Amino acid sequence: MDKITHHLDDRLLMAYAAGTLPEGFNLVVATHISLCDECRARLGEFEAVGGQVLERGDTVALADTSLEQTLARISGDAPAGDDRNTMPQRSSVFPAPLRDYVGGDADAVHWRAVGGGVRQAILPTSNAATVRLLHIPAGAAVPDHGHRGTELTLVLQGAFRDEEDRFARGDIEIADEEVQHTPVAEAGEDCICLAATDAPLRFRALIPRLAQPFLRI
Amino acid sequence: MTASEEKDSQWIECVIRIREQADQAAFAALFRHFAPRVKAFLMKGGADEALAEECTQEVMATLWHKAHLFDPARASVATWVFTIARNRRIDALRRQRRPEPEDLPWGPEPEPDQAEIMGLQQDTERLGEALAQLPEKQRSLIERAYFGELSHSEIAAETGLPLGTIKSRIRLALDRLRHAMN
Ligand SMILES: [Zn+2]
C-alpha cells in the first residue's frame, strides 16, 4: 500500500475523540483511522485529553442507592462477550466500520448511476451529515462541484488528482467552504471514495439544482 | 512515584481485581471516584438528572463487564472511562451509532509491559498538569469542546467570540499541551 500522505486534522480528531461529530463524519474518520496508524496514535492523545478533562472536571452526586443499583444491574446483565470489531480482513477494500454500514465489502454496494459514468450509494446515517460511496471510472472526472460546509473525501481504491495533489488509498481530502476543484480519477483502476458532507452538494454540471432534495445529493 | 501516579496505578489495580476476582469493593472504589464525574459530564452534555443517573449506572456497569478489555499500556483508567461515557452519551443523547476503527491485527495481547504502563502513567500526569496550567480562556474552550457537546460554531454563537478566535485559542492550547509533552 502507498504511504498515506493526507491525514485528519486536529479539529476532526478532537471532535471525534469528544464525540461531537455527526455520524456520517464519524464513519469517515473511523474508516481512515482503520487504515492509518499515525492518526490512530493521535486519536489516542486526544482521548487522553478527554480523560484528563473528565478527571479534573466537576462532579455531581449520585443517588443514595446508586452503587447498589449498579451492582444489581451488573448481576442482572448477561456477561459481555468480546465485542471488538471482527478481526481485520486486510484483503478487503472496506475496513470494518464501513463494512458494518454497507453490509459487506465493495461487491455488496447497491450503486446508482448519477451521470458521467459515476455511480454512488448513500449510506444511512443521522441527518446532520450525508455520507455516500462514489465509484468513478478510471480516467473519468469527478463531477465538478462546489462546497458549502465541510466535505471529507476518503479514497478506498484507485486514486484521484486535483489541481494540486494526488489522493490514493487511505488519503483523506478535507475541503472547506467555497473550495472548488475538479478531481480526476487516475487511469488504471476505478476509484472508490467515501465522501461525507454537512451541507448538500451542488453537482452543477450534471443535475438541476431543483432536483437535489429528491436525489439526496 | 507522585500522588497522582499512585492514584492511577490504584485504579489499574481496581480494574484488575474486578477482572480476576469480580471484586465488588474494588468496583465501589472506582465508582466513588468516577461515577460523579461521569454524571457531571453527561449533564453538561444535555442530559437531565434522571437520565444522567441512569446512564452513569450503565457506564459503570459497562466498566465491570469490559474490565477484561482494558489495557493499561494503551490508556489510563480515566481515558478508558471517558471513552465509555462518551459512547453512552452519543447513543443515549444523540441517538446515533458510533462507528469505531477496526482493531489492529495484533492478536492476543501479551502481558502488558511494566515500563510501558509506567511511561503512560507519567504521560497522563504531565498531560493533566499541562491542562491545569493552560490559560483559563484556552482551558475552558478545550473543556467545552469535550464536555459541552458544542461544535466550534456553536461555541462561537454562544460566547459571541468569532470562530477564528475560538479556532486559534484551541490551536494554541493544543500547541501548549504538545510542548509540555515533549
Ligand atoms: Zn492519517
pLDDT digits (tens, 9 = 90+) for B131-154: 999 999 999 999 988 986 667 777
Q: Is the pLDDT reported for residue B76 higher than 50?
A: yes
Question: Could you give all domains of chain A from N- to C-terminal order, each with its CATH number?
Answer: 10-100 (1.10.10.1320), 107-215 (2.60.120.10)
Cβ <8 Å between A73 and B57: yes
Asked if the C-beta of B177 comes within 8 angstroms of chain A's C-beta atoms, the answer is yes
Check if the interface score ipTM surpasses 0.90: yes
Q: Which residue has the higher pLDDT, A178 or B17?
A: B17
> What is the rounded distance in angstroms from the CA atom of residue A123 to the CA atom of residue B97?
13
Residues of A in contact with B74 (CB under 8 A): 44
The mean per-residue pLDDT over the stretch B121-132 comes to 91
Query: Does residue B108 sit within a domain?
Result: no
Mutation to test the A interface, candidates B39, B60, B82, most A Cβ within 10 Å: B82
> CA triplet A126, A132, A134: central angle to 5 degrees?
180
Q: Which residue has the higher pLDDT, A197 or A127?
A: A197
Query: Does residue B150 sit within a domain?
Result: yes
Query: Does residue B118 sit within a domain?
Result: yes
* Residue at a domain's end among B38, B62, B97: B97
Distance of CA A24 from the midpoint of ligand 1 (Å): 18
Cβ <8 Å between B145 and A71: no
Supply the range of the domain harboring residue B174: 114-181
Smallest Cβ distance to A60: which of B27, B39, B74? Answer: B39
Query: Does residue B82 sit within a domain?
Result: yes
CATH number of the domain where residue B49 is located:
1.10.1740.10
What's phi and psi for A181, nearest 5 deg?
-150, 165
Cβ <8 Å between A30 and B89: no
> What is the rounded distance in angstroms from the CA atom of residue B171 to the CA atom of residue B174?
5
β-strand partners of A11: none
Residues B118 and B159 in one domain: yes
Cβ <8 Å between B53 and A79: no
Residues B49 and B119 in one domain: no
pTM equals 0.89
pLDDT value of residue A214? 41
Query: Does residue B102 sit within a domain?
Result: no
CATH number of the domain where residue B160 is located:
1.10.10.10
